[in-house]
Structure 1
Protein backbone atom coordinates (compact mmCIF):
# COMPACT_ATOMS: atom_id res chain seq x y z
CA UNK A 1 0.00 0.00 0.00
CA UNK A 2 1.14 3.50 -0.79
CA UNK A 3 -0.24 6.53 1.00
CA UNK A 4 -0.81 9.71 -0.94
CA UNK A 5 -2.51 12.95 -0.04
CA UNK A 6 -5.31 14.22 -2.26
CA UNK A 7 -5.92 17.89 -3.06
CA UNK A 8 -8.04 18.37 0.10
CA UNK A 9 -5.34 17.05 2.43
CA UNK A 10 -7.04 13.69 2.95
CA UNK A 11 -4.78 10.63 3.15
CA UNK A 12 -5.66 8.02 0.51
CA UNK A 13 -4.22 4.49 0.35
CA UNK A 14 -3.49 2.94 -3.02
CA UNK A 15 -2.26 -0.53 -3.82
CA UNK A 16 1.38 -0.65 -4.85
CA UNK A 17 1.28 -3.54 -7.30
CA UNK A 18 4.40 -4.96 -8.83
CA UNK A 19 2.20 -6.96 -11.18
CA UNK A 20 2.42 -5.90 -14.82
CA UNK A 21 -1.18 -6.93 -15.49
CA UNK A 22 -2.21 -3.28 -15.60
CA UNK A 23 -0.30 -3.09 -18.88
CA UNK A 24 -3.46 -4.59 -20.40
CA UNK A 25 -5.27 -1.31 -19.78
CA UNK A 26 -4.87 1.70 -22.05
CA UNK A 27 -3.48 4.90 -20.51
CA UNK A 28 -6.00 6.66 -18.30
CA UNK A 29 -7.96 9.07 -20.45
CA UNK A 30 -11.57 10.09 -20.80
CA UNK A 31 -11.74 8.44 -24.20
CA UNK A 32 -12.01 4.67 -24.26
CA UNK A 33 -9.88 2.75 -26.73
CA UNK A 34 -11.52 -0.45 -27.98
CA UNK A 35 -9.42 -3.11 -29.67
CA UNK A 36 -10.93 -5.71 -31.99
CA UNK A 37 -9.52 -8.78 -33.68
CA UNK A 38 -11.19 -10.14 -36.83
CA UNK A 39 -10.45 -13.83 -37.39
CA UNK A 40 -11.82 -14.89 -40.75
CA UNK A 41 -10.51 -16.55 -43.91
CA UNK A 42 -12.68 -14.49 -46.30
CA UNK A 43 -10.82 -11.33 -47.41
CA UNK A 44 -14.06 -9.51 -48.33
CA UNK A 45 -15.58 -10.05 -44.89
CA UNK A 46 -12.34 -9.08 -43.15
CA UNK A 47 -11.95 -5.87 -45.16
CA UNK A 48 -15.61 -4.90 -44.67
CA UNK A 49 -15.41 -5.43 -40.90
CA UNK A 50 -12.10 -3.55 -40.68
CA UNK A 51 -13.54 -0.52 -42.48
CA UNK A 52 -16.71 -0.48 -40.34
CA UNK A 53 -14.77 -0.95 -37.08
CA UNK A 54 -12.34 1.83 -38.01
CA UNK A 55 -15.33 4.09 -38.72
CA UNK A 56 -16.46 3.36 -35.14
CA UNK A 57 -12.96 4.37 -33.89
CA UNK A 58 -12.10 0.78 -32.97
CA UNK A 59 -8.43 -0.21 -33.24
CA UNK A 60 -8.60 -3.26 -35.50
CA UNK A 61 -6.32 -6.15 -36.39
CA UNK A 62 -7.16 -9.12 -38.58
CA UNK A 63 -5.81 -12.59 -39.22
CA UNK A 64 -6.89 -15.57 -41.31
CA UNK A 65 -6.20 -18.43 -38.90
CA UNK A 66 -6.68 -19.29 -35.26
CA UNK A 67 -2.95 -19.89 -34.91
CA UNK A 68 -2.19 -16.31 -35.94
CA UNK A 69 -4.91 -15.07 -33.60
CA UNK A 70 -3.54 -17.02 -30.63
CA UNK A 71 -0.08 -15.62 -31.26
CA UNK A 72 -1.40 -12.05 -31.19
CA UNK A 73 -3.50 -12.77 -28.12
CA UNK A 74 -0.82 -14.55 -26.10
CA UNK A 75 2.14 -12.41 -27.04
CA UNK A 76 1.04 -8.96 -28.11
CA UNK A 77 -2.42 -7.57 -27.38
CA UNK A 78 -5.51 -7.85 -25.23
CA UNK A 79 -8.60 -7.44 -27.39
CA UNK A 80 -12.00 -6.25 -26.21
CA UNK A 81 -13.80 -7.91 -29.11
CA UNK A 82 -13.08 -10.89 -31.31
CA UNK A 83 -15.16 -11.42 -34.46
CA UNK A 84 -14.62 -15.10 -35.16
CA UNK A 85 -15.48 -17.39 -38.05
CA UNK A 86 -16.87 -20.80 -37.10
CA UNK A 87 -15.04 -22.63 -39.85
CA UNK A 88 -11.27 -22.12 -39.89
CA UNK A 89 -8.44 -24.46 -40.88
CA UNK A 90 -6.80 -26.66 -38.20
CA UNK A 91 -8.34 -24.97 -35.13
CA UNK A 92 -11.94 -23.98 -35.80
CA UNK A 93 -13.87 -21.20 -34.12
CA UNK A 94 -15.44 -23.52 -31.52
CA UNK A 95 -12.05 -24.87 -30.44
CA UNK A 96 -10.53 -21.38 -30.33
CA UNK A 97 -13.41 -20.06 -28.24
CA UNK A 98 -13.01 -22.95 -25.80
CA UNK A 99 -9.25 -22.33 -25.59
CA UNK A 100 -9.78 -18.63 -24.85
CA UNK A 101 -12.36 -19.38 -22.16
CA UNK A 102 -10.12 -22.05 -20.60
CA UNK A 103 -7.37 -19.41 -20.46
CA UNK A 104 -9.85 -17.03 -18.78
CA UNK A 105 -9.20 -14.52 -21.55
CA UNK A 106 -11.43 -11.47 -20.85
CA UNK A 107 -13.04 -10.61 -24.18
CA UNK A 108 -16.34 -10.55 -26.01
CA UNK A 109 -16.36 -13.27 -28.68
CA UNK A 110 -18.90 -12.96 -31.48
CA UNK A 111 -19.28 -15.64 -34.14
CA UNK A 112 -19.68 -14.38 -37.69
CA UNK A 113 -20.32 -17.38 -39.87
CA UNK A 114 -22.48 -19.02 -42.49
CA UNK A 115 -25.81 -20.55 -41.45
CA UNK A 116 -25.49 -23.08 -38.66
CA UNK A 117 -27.70 -25.94 -37.63
CA UNK A 118 -29.18 -25.78 -34.14
CA UNK A 119 -26.61 -28.36 -33.00
CA UNK A 120 -23.69 -26.37 -34.46
CA UNK A 121 -25.00 -23.21 -32.77
CA UNK A 122 -25.25 -25.01 -29.43
CA UNK A 123 -21.67 -26.28 -29.79
CA UNK A 124 -20.40 -22.77 -30.51
CA UNK A 125 -22.27 -21.23 -27.57
CA UNK A 126 -21.32 -24.04 -25.18
CA UNK A 127 -17.66 -23.26 -25.94
CA UNK A 128 -18.18 -19.79 -24.45
CA UNK A 129 -19.38 -17.65 -27.34
CA UNK A 130 -21.07 -14.37 -26.37
CA UNK A 131 -23.08 -13.90 -29.56
CA UNK A 132 -23.48 -15.35 -33.04
CA UNK A 133 -24.57 -13.96 -36.38
CA UNK A 134 -25.00 -16.77 -38.86
CA UNK A 135 -27.47 -14.95 -41.08
CA UNK A 136 -25.50 -11.78 -41.65
CA UNK A 137 -22.13 -11.97 -43.36
CA UNK A 138 -20.56 -9.47 -43.28
CA UNK A 139 -22.26 -7.74 -40.39
CA UNK A 140 -24.18 -4.56 -41.12
CA UNK A 141 -22.89 -1.29 -39.75
CA UNK A 142 -25.88 -1.06 -37.37
CA UNK A 143 -25.27 -4.54 -35.97
CA UNK A 144 -21.57 -3.86 -35.52
CA UNK A 145 -22.28 -0.53 -33.81
CA UNK A 146 -24.60 -2.26 -31.32
CA UNK A 147 -21.94 -4.93 -30.62
CA UNK A 148 -19.22 -2.32 -30.06
CA UNK A 149 -21.49 -0.24 -27.82
CA UNK A 150 -22.22 -3.29 -25.63
CA UNK A 151 -18.58 -4.23 -25.00
CA UNK A 152 -17.76 -3.98 -21.29
CA UNK A 153 -14.66 -2.17 -20.05
CA UNK A 154 -11.48 -4.12 -20.53
CA UNK A 155 -10.51 -6.37 -17.66
CA UNK A 156 -7.05 -7.45 -16.66
CA UNK A 157 -6.09 -10.86 -18.01
CA UNK A 158 -4.71 -12.44 -14.87
CA UNK A 159 -3.13 -15.40 -16.67
CA UNK A 160 -1.45 -13.34 -19.41
CA UNK A 161 2.11 -13.95 -18.23
CA UNK A 162 1.57 -17.69 -17.95
CA UNK A 163 0.23 -18.11 -21.48
CA UNK A 164 2.66 -15.65 -23.01
CA UNK A 165 5.56 -17.65 -21.56
CA UNK A 166 4.08 -20.97 -22.68
CA UNK A 167 3.41 -19.69 -26.22
CA UNK A 168 6.89 -18.21 -26.61
CA UNK A 169 8.49 -21.50 -25.51
CA UNK A 170 7.26 -23.27 -28.69
Structure 2
Protein backbone atom coordinates (compact mmCIF):
# COMPACT_ATOMS: atom_id res chain seq x y z
CA UNK A 1 0.00 0.00 0.00
CA UNK A 2 2.88 2.30 -0.72
CA UNK A 3 2.06 5.71 -2.10
CA UNK A 4 4.92 5.12 -4.55
CA UNK A 5 3.30 5.37 -7.97
CA UNK A 6 0.02 6.86 -6.77
CA UNK A 7 0.86 10.25 -8.29
CA UNK A 8 -1.18 11.58 -11.16
CA UNK A 9 -0.63 10.04 -14.54
CA UNK A 10 -0.19 12.07 -17.69
CA UNK A 11 -3.85 11.37 -18.47
CA UNK A 12 -4.98 12.27 -14.93
CA UNK A 13 -7.12 9.16 -14.58
CA UNK A 14 -5.60 7.67 -11.43
CA UNK A 15 -7.59 7.85 -8.20
CA UNK A 16 -5.85 9.89 -5.48
CA UNK A 17 -4.65 8.04 -2.38
CA UNK A 18 -7.15 8.83 0.40
CA UNK A 19 -7.05 8.85 4.19
CA UNK A 20 -9.65 9.32 6.91
CA UNK A 21 -8.30 11.00 10.05
CA UNK A 22 -10.41 10.17 13.11
CA UNK A 23 -9.50 12.21 16.20
CA UNK A 24 -11.34 14.45 18.65
CA UNK A 25 -8.27 16.65 19.24
CA UNK A 26 -8.14 19.64 16.88
CA UNK A 27 -4.35 20.03 17.02
CA UNK A 28 -3.73 16.33 16.33
CA UNK A 29 -6.16 16.39 13.40
CA UNK A 30 -4.46 19.43 11.90
CA UNK A 31 -0.95 18.04 12.45
CA UNK A 32 -1.78 14.66 10.93
CA UNK A 33 -3.71 16.27 8.07
CA UNK A 34 -0.76 18.54 7.28
CA UNK A 35 1.68 15.61 7.16
CA UNK A 36 -0.59 13.54 4.91
CA UNK A 37 -1.33 16.42 2.55
CA UNK A 38 2.41 17.22 2.30
CA UNK A 39 2.95 13.85 0.63
CA UNK A 40 -0.05 14.12 -1.67
CA UNK A 41 -2.67 12.18 0.28
CA UNK A 42 -6.26 13.44 0.07
CA UNK A 43 -7.78 13.59 3.56
CA UNK A 44 -11.16 13.69 5.23
CA UNK A 45 -11.80 14.31 8.94
CA UNK A 46 -14.05 12.62 11.49
CA UNK A 47 -14.25 14.00 15.04
CA UNK A 48 -15.08 10.66 16.70
CA UNK A 49 -15.61 6.99 15.92
CA UNK A 50 -19.33 7.38 15.24
CA UNK A 51 -18.65 9.99 12.57
CA UNK A 52 -16.11 7.62 10.98
CA UNK A 53 -18.60 4.74 10.95
CA UNK A 54 -21.32 7.02 9.54
CA UNK A 55 -18.98 8.21 6.76
CA UNK A 56 -18.39 4.60 5.70
CA UNK A 57 -22.11 3.80 6.00
CA UNK A 58 -22.78 6.62 3.53
CA UNK A 59 -20.63 4.78 0.99
CA UNK A 60 -17.26 6.47 1.39
CA UNK A 61 -14.10 4.44 0.94
CA UNK A 62 -10.52 5.22 1.91
CA UNK A 63 -7.14 3.65 1.32
CA UNK A 64 -6.20 4.10 4.98
CA UNK A 65 -7.79 5.22 8.26
CA UNK A 66 -5.85 6.86 11.11
CA UNK A 67 -7.97 6.09 14.20
CA UNK A 68 -7.52 7.70 17.62
CA UNK A 69 -8.24 5.38 20.54
CA UNK A 70 -9.74 7.71 23.14
CA UNK A 71 -12.67 9.78 21.85
CA UNK A 72 -16.13 10.79 23.04
CA UNK A 73 -19.36 9.30 21.64
CA UNK A 74 -17.61 6.23 20.13
CA UNK A 75 -13.98 5.42 20.88
CA UNK A 76 -11.48 3.96 18.45
CA UNK A 77 -11.85 0.41 19.74
CA UNK A 78 -15.62 0.41 19.19
CA UNK A 79 -15.33 2.18 15.83
CA UNK A 80 -12.66 -0.21 14.54
CA UNK A 81 -14.74 -3.24 15.55
CA UNK A 82 -17.78 -1.73 13.83
CA UNK A 83 -15.86 -0.92 10.64
CA UNK A 84 -14.45 -4.44 10.43
CA UNK A 85 -17.92 -5.91 11.10
CA UNK A 86 -19.21 -3.79 8.20
CA UNK A 87 -16.61 -5.37 5.94
CA UNK A 88 -14.19 -2.44 5.75
CA UNK A 89 -10.88 -3.91 4.56
CA UNK A 90 -8.64 -0.86 4.17
CA UNK A 91 -5.63 -0.43 6.44
CA UNK A 92 -6.65 0.93 9.87
CA UNK A 93 -3.84 2.52 11.86
CA UNK A 94 -4.44 3.05 15.57
CA UNK A 95 -2.98 6.25 16.96
CA UNK A 96 -2.86 6.81 20.71
CA UNK A 97 -1.12 8.52 23.58
CA UNK A 98 -2.48 5.92 26.01
CA UNK A 99 0.17 4.06 27.98
CA UNK A 100 -2.08 1.29 29.34
CA UNK A 101 -0.82 -1.95 27.78
CA UNK A 102 -4.15 -3.78 28.20
CA UNK A 103 -6.08 -0.98 26.49
CA UNK A 104 -3.56 -0.85 23.64
CA UNK A 105 -3.85 -4.62 23.21
CA UNK A 106 -7.67 -4.34 23.11
CA UNK A 107 -7.30 -1.67 20.42
CA UNK A 108 -5.04 -3.95 18.34
CA UNK A 109 -7.46 -6.85 18.76
CA UNK A 110 -10.36 -4.70 17.54
CA UNK A 111 -8.98 -5.06 14.02
CA UNK A 112 -6.07 -2.67 13.63
CA UNK A 113 -3.33 -3.30 11.13
CA UNK A 114 -0.80 -1.18 13.05
CA UNK A 115 -0.67 0.81 16.31
CA UNK A 116 1.49 3.95 16.69
CA UNK A 117 2.09 6.46 19.44
CA UNK A 118 0.90 10.04 18.97
CA UNK A 119 1.81 12.23 17.32
CA UNK A 120 2.43 10.85 13.86
CA UNK A 121 5.50 12.14 12.07
CA UNK A 122 6.40 12.10 8.41
CA UNK A 123 8.83 9.23 9.10
CA UNK A 124 6.09 7.21 10.86
CA UNK A 125 3.60 7.85 8.06
CA UNK A 126 6.12 6.79 5.40
CA UNK A 127 6.86 3.63 7.40
CA UNK A 128 3.14 2.87 7.70
CA UNK A 129 2.58 3.35 3.97
CA UNK A 130 5.46 0.99 3.14
CA UNK A 131 4.12 -1.84 5.33
CA UNK A 132 1.90 -4.40 3.65
CA UNK A 133 -1.66 -4.68 4.92
CA UNK A 134 -2.39 -7.63 7.21
For structure 1, list consecutive stretches of 5 or more residues without a partner in the other structure. 1-27, 153-170
Residue of structure 2 aligned with 1:125, choices 108, 121, 126: 108
The number of residue pairs the alignment matches comes to 123
For structure 2, list consecutive stretches of 5 or more residues without a partner in the other structure. 1-10
- Could you say which residue in structure 2 is the equivalent of 1:142? 123
Shift of 1:31: 4.6
Tell me how large the CA RMSD over aligned residues is.
2.0
CA distance in 1, matches of 2:109, 2:76: 12
Residue of structure 2 aligned with 1:59, choices 23, 42, 55: 42
Shift of 1:29: 6.7
CA distance in 2, matches of 1:116, 1:73: 29
Shift of 1:95: 0.6
Contact 1:111 1:133 in 2 (8 A): yes
Shift of 1:49: 0.8
Contact 1:80 1:151 in 2 (8 A): no
Structure 1 position 70 matched with structure 2 position 23: no
DSSP-derived class of the 1:138 partner: coil
Contact 2:98 2:104 in 1 (8 A): no
After TM superposition, the score normalised by the length of structure 1 is 0.66
Shift of 1:45: 0.7
- Could you say which residue in structure 1 is the equivalent of 2:69? 86
CA distance in 1, matches of 2:132, 2:91: 7
CA distance in 1, matches of 2:101, 2:51: 29
Shift of 1:32: 5.4
Q: Which moved more, 1:108-117 or 1:142-151?
A: 142-151
* Residues 132, 48 of structure 1: alpha-carbon distance in 2 compared, 3 angstrom cutoff: same
Q: Which has the higher contact order (CA 8 A, sep 6+)?
A: 2
Contact 2:53 2:82 in 1 (8 A): no
Contact 1:65 1:89 in 2 (8 A): yes
